[in-house]
């Protein structure tokens, strides 16, 4: 695995491969890697000749400075995992390489960044949009791989690629879960043992709500049961639990004839905020 730190190094190395008709896959990450990231790498290796992983903790997508400062950093372990996984290149830039000056541009994603994550984390998706645009322009991949766990982010990135005509395919990879159902997340590293135990309530609530919906029960009564479920767990504080269209993120009051539907949720466990989602008809 070769480690590249600058845009010039990336261009010099990858242009040769492009000239030889090699397909390039990009897996953007913020480090603190886990099996979910490695699944992205695995899929990328199946569909792309060359796999590039980026590690960059993007400051512009954090609306909470404390969250940015506490974001887990496990670079030595990350390097070992990526090398063992057969990654070809790691793009590991310093902040000044990505942001030589403060960005003046802002991106308005309309409805997509005004609800759920956009509502609770103002400015988050603007930061995501800017850094993903930069990574796509720097690496110029044929395909970029993202996890379904960040479903609203996926919708944002698809809109970004469509509206700005990026010449890249976005491939979404299913969420990877622990045996107890908890979705893998870098933020899980910040949970103490009691909070980690309590975090099981998220997937439990999602799978319960999906089952209830498919059995024909009304969403209003399901939501009431979910609120009671979270109220019974003192370590958890539910932020939202919504039924939405999976691509456009319009909030629904029931599934009706709509088939592309997901439940999205966010909850706090102490000062650690976790998100998750589940598709209803997959």
> Cα–Cα distance between 185 and 148 in angstroms, integer?
12
The answer to whether the annotation marks 221 as part of a ligand binding site is no
The answer to whether the annotation marks 185 as part of a ligand binding site is yes
Give the burial class of 149: count Cβ atoms within 10 A of its Cβ; 0-12 exposed, 13-18 middle, 19 or more buried: buried
End-to-end CA distance of the chain: 36
The answer to whether the annotation marks 129 as part of a ligand binding site is no
Check 37, 111, 124, 142 and give the catalytic one.
37
Catalytic-residue membership of 111:
no
The answer to whether the annotation marks 216 as part of a ligand binding site is no
The answer to whether the annotation marks 90 as part of a ligand binding site is no
Which neighbouring-strand residues pair with 170? Answer: 144
The answer to whether the annotation marks 30 as part of a ligand binding site is yes
Give the burial class of 61: count Cβ atoms within 10 A of its Cβ; 0-12 exposed, 13-18 middle, 19 or more buried: buried
> Cα–Cα distance between 145 and 169 in angstroms, integer?
9
The answer to whether the annotation marks 276 as part of a ligand binding site is no
The answer to whether the annotation marks 214 as part of a ligand binding site is no
Q: Which contacts (CB < 8 Å, 24+ apart) does range 212-220 have?
A: 213/243, 213/255, 213/280, 214/280, 218/254, 219/243, 219/252, 219/253, 219/254, 219/255, 220/253
The answer to whether the annotation marks 61 as part of a ligand binding site is yes
The answer to whether the annotation marks 37 as part of a ligand binding site is yes
Binding residues: 30-37, 61, 147-150, 153, 176, 184-187
Binding residues for beta-alanine: 61
Binding residues for ATP: 30-37, 147-150, 176, 184-187
Binding residues for (R)-pantoate: 61, 153
Catalytic positions are 37
């Amino acid at each position: 695995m070769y480690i590249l730190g600058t845009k010039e190094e990336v261009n010099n190395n990858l242009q040769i491969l492009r000239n030889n008709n090699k397909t390039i896959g990009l897996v953007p990450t913020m480090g603190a890697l886990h099996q979910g990231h490695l699944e992205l790498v695995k899929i990328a290796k199946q569909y792309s000749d060359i796999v590039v992983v980026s590690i960059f903790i993007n400051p512009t997508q954090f609306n909470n400075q404390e969250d940015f400062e506490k974001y887990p950093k496990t670079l030595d372990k990350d390097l070992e995992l990526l090398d063992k996984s057969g990654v070809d290149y790691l793009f590991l830039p310093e902040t000044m390489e990505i942001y030589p000056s403060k960005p003046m541009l802002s991106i308005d994603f309309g409805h997509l960044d005004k609800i759920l994550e956009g509502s609770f984390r103002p400015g988050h998706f603007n930061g995501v949009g800017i850094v993903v645009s930069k990574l796509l322009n720097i690496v110029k991949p044929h395909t970029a791989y993202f996890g379904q766990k960040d479903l609203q982010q996926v919708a944002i990135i698809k809109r970004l690629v469509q509206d700005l005509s990026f010449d890249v395919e976005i491939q979404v990879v299913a969420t990877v879960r622990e045996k107890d159902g908890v979705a893998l997340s870098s933020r899980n590293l910040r949970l103490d043992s009691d909070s980690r135990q309590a975090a099981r309530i998220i997937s439990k609530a999602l799978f319960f709500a999906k089952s209830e919906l498919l059995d024909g029960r009304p969403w209003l009564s399901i939501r009431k049961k979910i609120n009671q479920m979270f109220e019974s767990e003192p370590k958890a504080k539910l932020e939202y639990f919504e039924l939405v269209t999976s691509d456009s993120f319009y909030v629904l009051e029931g599934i009706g004839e709509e088939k592309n539907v997901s439940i999205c949720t966010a909850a706090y466990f102490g000062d650690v905020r976790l998100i998750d989602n589940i598709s209803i008809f997959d």
